[in-house]
Amino acid sequence: MKIGELAEISGFSTKTLRFYESIGLMPAANREANGYRSYQDDSLRRLAFISNAQSAGLSLKEIGEILAIRSSGVTPCEHVYQLLLAHRESIEAKIAELEDLQSELASLISYAESFSPESCDDGQVCSILSRKPNSVKFAKFQH
């Protein structure tokens, strides 16, 4: 199978497939006499795995590590499990962060809605965004 077919079937672009090879995520493909890459079904299986792992939110680097463990003959189960736990943690943290941001935004928005532009203070850029002092150091510069 040539790279175009593999791309077609796998859903990865030919660019991406070459890129994956270049970063070692895919092994160097066998070449035909004319220099074209030649793939077997195992490439497709590997790409299926990459695709699965990506949709679990793993980075290419992490996926590469799993693949490396696997090809060293060890089952990567424990490593994968630890990765998943770590990801759950970091996603949890990101969600919390975004929710904080969301409530900050909500408060700014409701302030903006109760706000008349006429009351803008010329001494600052934006009364809506400058409502809260965000550091002691800045305090005296935010009236």
Contact set with DNA (CB under 7 A): 2-5, 7, 13-16, 18-19, 29, 32-37, 54, 59-61
Nearest to 50 by CA among 41, 40, 59: 59
Q: Quick one: what does residue 68 bind among a copy of itself, DNA, none, with the CB cut-off 5 to 8 Å set by partner type?
A: none
Which one, 15 or 132, has the nearer CB to a copy of itself?
132
Which one, 52 or 110, has the nearer CB to DNA?
52
Residues in contact with a copy of itself by the rule CB under 8 A = 9-11, 41, 44-49, 51-53, 55-58, 66-67, 70, 75-78, 80-81, 84-85, 87-88, 91-92, 94-95, 98-99, 101-102, 104-106, 108-109, 112-113, 115, 117, 120, 123-130, 132, 134-135, 137-138, 141-142
CA distance 142 to 134: 9
Backbone angles phi, psi at 38, to 5 degrees: -125, 125
Q: Quick one: what does residue 26 bind among a copy of itself, DNA, none, with the CB cut-off 5 to 8 Å set by partner type?
A: none
Q: How far is the CB of 18 from a copy of itself (least distance, A)?
A: 20
Which one, 59 or 107, has the nearer CB to DNA?
59
